[in-house]
Structure 1
Amino acid sequence: MLTSVTIARRQSEIRQRLSELVGKDAPSEDETRQMDQLDGEYRQNETRYRAALIAEDTERREAGADLETRSGREWNDLVAGFQMRQVIGALNEGRALDGKTAEVVAELRSAGGYRGVPVPLLALEARAGETVSAGTPDPVQTRPIIDRLFPASVAARMGAQMIAIGSGAVEWPVATSAVTAGWADGETGTVADPTPYTTTDKALKPEHNLGVQMRITRKALLQSGDALEAAIRRDMNGAMAAELDRAIFLGTGAAGQPLGVITGAATYGVTVTPVDAAASWATYRGAVVRFMARNAASTPADVRALIRPEVWDFMEDQLTATAAPKFEFDRMAEKMGGIAMSSTALEAPTGTPAACTSLLTTSAGGVAPVFVGMWGAVDLIRDPFSDAASGGLRLTALTTMDITVARGAQLEILTGVQVA
């Protein structure tokens, strides 16, 4: 029982007893002494009652916050105990799933249809301690299901937001109206006419399927044990992360691929600026100024840059001609909010002199520059025929994703960044 409730009941008993004693015309010395004791206890209980209410209010708030986040934590705890080797055994030998793995699979099946065994995206993370042959493994670090699937990916470092979608298409309304303010001309003048508030819907649709195929020999199935699970996690994680990074920026929009940010710049309304000059902080500073001029960024620290490793190599050799010389890349790194380097998300330098492309992004008003939608879990399907003669296991992991850009003004592409 709550302390405040117990005190309130005692206060009620004291009031009832006092009313009986006060009603007497000639109370005895014992009754008078009892009234003094009850009055003192009543005043003391008032102080305790207020303190109990304050403490219990804090406890209620903490309990409410715990209830709001408990379901997510319980799901993360279940996924943390998900075992890929149980899935391999179920597909290869027909073994029954048990424990947390069975609960996760049952929950995913109830939310959507899968041909094979559904595997949550979080389960593809490489987990610490699972390949230790002796001693106590390190505890698993629990992360959100989608947002931190590939924490080291280029898309995540450039501010792309990963969105988990159960089913159907998702649209993001983005304001496109240019609301203007105007002054009244004179005492009886009118202000500017109202401007219609308009939006454009940016849709994410389940039209692009990314697949990873894995071939596991019978020898590996019989020998590996826990090491097999760690290898499967690493391979699937690495393959999906690399291909997602390439598709998000360089996807052709044909042959099943989504339309990447750089390839689809015209479609997404992204500004493409040909610089045709050697890579330097001044080259990127001009783009930062353009972001700030159109109110997409407040400071250079709000802007992130995606560059090729060759750009870093070139800028590291360039010194500023000032009293305190400093490499161009160091000047750039000090000012900007982040720099990501990738040879997967950007095309290699070409031409004479060699030149490449760079991408700059910013998150305006908390809105991510790129949305990456992923539908459901990874569908892990067994191919029982391809490797049947050798007793091996052929697995196909399928996931569905799409890309869209909220506002083209939050991105800018620089072409002709020379590295020679």
Structure 2
Amino acid sequence: MLESKKLELRRSEIRQELAVLAAKPEPTEDEVRSMENLDKEYRTAEVRFRAALTAEDTERREAGAELETRSGKEWAEMMGRFEMRQVALALDEGRALDGATAEIVTELREQGGYRGIPVPWAALEKRAGETVASGTPDPISTRPVIDRLFPDSVAGKMGAQMITIESGATEWPVVTSSVSAGWADGETANVAGPSVFATTDKALKPEQNLGIQMRITRKALKQSGAALEQAVRRDMNSAMQAELDKAIFLGTGANGQPLGVVAGASTYGINDTDLSAVPTYAHFLAEVVAFMSANTITSPEQIRALLRPELFGYLEGQVNADLQITEYHRFAWLLAGRQAAPGTFPSNITTTSNALATPSGSPEETSMLLTTSTGGVAPIFCGLWGAVDMIRDPFSDAQSGGLRITALATADVTVARPAQLRLLSGIQLSAS
């Protein structure tokens, strides 16, 4: 037991004894001496208690930090031992799960209902030391083959926050009122107000389901062994990541898709500037200045930009006659605090061919999205309900002895504050 705790208990005992003695109307000489001794001991214990608290402060902080992070560390370590191979074999042969995989599946089942075997999202991540390979590796050959090409995730790079929801809908009350302060005009005058404090609820609802079907042949199951785990995880992670990225930005809000922030800019209230012209540095500067003013941002480096590769190619090909640098380099300088090297992508500039629509029209037009995080609030929220539900189809490929599994995930997208996003559309890639 800590010394401070012992002293605290002793002080409590002294207070109880003093309360009994003080309640006597005519205490004896022995009782008076006892009260004096107890009072002296209490004052001494008080000084020692404060000293013990000071001495134990560092120890308490370390213990508190350990308690706060212990559960997260234990869960992360257990997640690192989750085996997709066990899930595939359980679906194919009915083999029982064991170890960390069984513990995680059991805990996920207790939190929500699943038709098949629940697989946590973290288990789909590529793990350190994995060989990049495509499909199912052939154990006869040691040469790696090239993975299927999937675009990298851009939602995280643009500041989107992924939120895990166990069940039901989740809402965020967002302040929509304009509460302002004002000076009193005179000694007896009133200050500004009163102003109504109003909020609007931004909801994420489990109404959109994302799925992928995979066929695993009998040869792959018998031939690959543990390598099957990495192959399944890579393909599922890449395919679902690419589709989630596309839906977060380009989801139509119809046909089972969530409403993406670019396709639904008008619905979310996001400012959309239709340039309808060939882009120049002056156009980008005007948008950045307007965006900074609307979000009270202190530096352009706090802005994230998302653009198509075609727009990067066009801007990189336009050389400023006076400065002898490209228009893209000037734009990168602007967002990177004048520290970007020619032709490089600062950390706050991302190119994508998946999350923005392909240029179209005559002349071809594309768009660019700007986002920022303000006051710790992400510009985009993506809700993921529970884990990935792995369901086995025992009939479709029964004749060939193969395994067909379906992975289902429920997700939704919303924008808390539309002022944290800005869309620049109608960017022409050639003169009219």
Contact 1:356 1:416 in 2 (8 A): yes
Q: How many residues align?
A: 365
| 1:20-419 equivalences in 2 (<5 Å) | 56-131=56-131, 152-322=152-322, 324-336=323-335, 338-419=348-429
Shift of 1:100: 0.5
Change (3 A) 1:416 1:105: same
Contact 1:131 1:227 in 2 (8 A): no
Change (3 A) 1:333 1:248: same
Change (3 A) 1:395 1:296: farther
Quote the Cα distance in structure 2 between the aligned partners of 1:262 and 1:306: 11
Quote the Cα distance in structure 2 between the aligned partners of 1:219 and 1:109: 31
Quote the Cα distance in structure 2 between the aligned partners of 1:348 and 1:5: 67
Structure 1 residue matching 2:266: 3-state secondary structure: helix
Shift of 1:382: 0.4
> Which amino acid counterpart does residue 156 of structure 2 have in structure 1?
A
What's the CA shift string for 1:373-404, capped at 9, x where partnerless? 10100000000111000000001001111000
Quote the Cα distance in structure 1 between the aligned partners of 2:426 and 2:129: 46
> Which amino acid counterpart does residue 176 of structure 2 have in structure 1?
T
Change (3 A) 1:130 1:299: closer
Shift of 1:416: 1.1
Contact 2:248 2:258 in 1 (8 A): yes
What's the CA shift string for 1:182-215, capped at 9, x where partnerless? 3333333322221010000000011111001100
Contact 2:151 2:353 in 1 (8 A): no
Contact 1:279 1:314 in 2 (8 A): no
Quote the Cα distance in structure 2 between the aligned partners of 1:253 and 1:158: 21
Contact 1:131 1:226 in 2 (8 A): no
> Which amino acid counterpart does residue 357 of structure 1 have in structure 2?
S
Quote the Cα distance in structure 2 between the aligned partners of 1:60 and 1:187: 51
Shift of 1:265: 1.1
Structure 2 residue matching 1:244: 3-state secondary structure: helix
Alignment RMSD, CA only?
2.6
Quote the Cα distance in structure 2 between the aligned partners of 1:78 and 1:248: 30
**Higher deviation after alignment, 105-114 or 178-187:** 178-187
What's the CA shift string for 1:70-125, capped at 9, x where partnerless? 11111111111000010111111011111110111111111111100000100001
> Which amino acid counterpart does residue 192 of structure 1 have in structure 2?
A
What's the CA shift string for 1:337-377, capped at 9, x where partnerless? 61111111111111222110111111121111100010100
Quote the Cα distance in structure 1 between the aligned partners of 2:327 and 2:167: 47
Quote the Cα distance in structure 1 between the aligned partners of 2:278 and 2:417: 29
* Aligned sequence identity (%): 63
- Residue 43 of structure 2 corresponds to none
> Which amino acid counterpart does residue 353 of structure 1 have in structure 2?
P
Quote the Cα distance in structure 2 between the aligned partners of 1:260 and 1:76: 31
Change (3 A) 1:130 1:226: farther
Shift of 1:296: 4.2
Quote the Cα distance in structure 1 between the aligned partners of 2:291 and 2:81: 45
Structure 2 residue matching 1:69: 3-state secondary structure: helix
What's the CA shift string for 1:116-157, capped at 9, x where partnerless? 0000100001122345999xxxxxxxxxxxxxxx99511110
Structure 2 residue matching 1:154: 3-state secondary structure: coil
Contact 2:151 2:242 in 1 (8 A): no
Structure 1 residue matching 2:295: 3-state secondary structure: coil
Give the structure-1-normalised TM-score.
0.81
Contact 1:216 1:392 in 2 (8 A): yes
What's the CA shift string for 1:39-59, capped at 9, x where partnerless? xxxxxxxxx999986564312
What's the CA shift string for 1:305-324, capped at 9, x where partnerless? 110000111111122233x4
> Which amino acid counterpart does residue 260 of structure 2 have in structure 1?
G
Give the structure-2-normalised TM-score.
0.79
Structure 1 residue matching 2:85: 3-state secondary structure: helix
Contact 1:130 1:227 in 2 (8 A): no
Structure 2 residue matching 1:305: 3-state secondary structure: strand
What's the CA shift string for 1:221-278, capped at 9, x where partnerless? 0001122111111110110111011100110111110011111111101111011222
